[in-house]
Amino acid sequence: MEHPIIDRALATADSLKEILSGVSAQELESVLQELVRVRRESRRVYITAAGRANLVMRTFAMRLMQIGLTSYVVSDTNTPAIQAGDLLIAGSGSGITETVAVIARQAKETGARIILISKSAGSPLARLADTVLQIPTGRRTRKLQTRGSEFEHSLFVLCDSIGVELRNH
């Protein structure tokens, strides 16, 4: 028996497949190489985002820790100060989230490297980042979910897949 919720969920999965197929392999490889560098040099990874994207990025921080990297979520009580050579990974769909931008600017001033995962490759945060991984949302013709949800769902699947690839790398 079909149900409208199952139909919507399956259509959403198809939509995510379309979004993720538009992600640049070159950008993904750059992100992977940054993470490999951090692991090789025994540096630390810091994660930051705001709102619902923050929840998704927290799962990424945990995944990185589970595969052997030293990772922290910015603003947690046990997070040490970022240092030169460390890596900040920021998630911001818009690329203009001010709290994330402040953290990224401070990290840049210390000599940390920055990866931005965003749907906005030309944003102020993207210009600050060393590496940008664009998630090309907003191309849907049929509204299955809000644009924010498209980004967050894609972010989760992509970050988890990065973790699996890094574990196997």
pLDDT over 60 (residue 141): no
Look over the chain and give the mean of its residue pLDDT values, rounded to a whole number.
93
Residue type, 95: G
Identify the bridge partners of residue 48 per DSSP, sorted by sequence position. Answer: 90
Confidence of residue 139 (pLDDT cuts 50, 70, 90): low
The pTM for the full model equals 0.93
pLDDT over 70 (residue 140): no
For residue range 54-84, what is the model confidence (pLDDT) as tens digits? 999 999 999 999 999 999 999 999 999 999 9
pLDDT over 90 (residue 50): yes
Is 152 assigned a catalytic role? yes
**80 contacts: CB under 8 Å, gap ≥ 6:** 44, 72
Identify the bridge partners of residue 49 per DSSP, sorted by sequence position. Answer: 91
pLDDT at position 162:
97
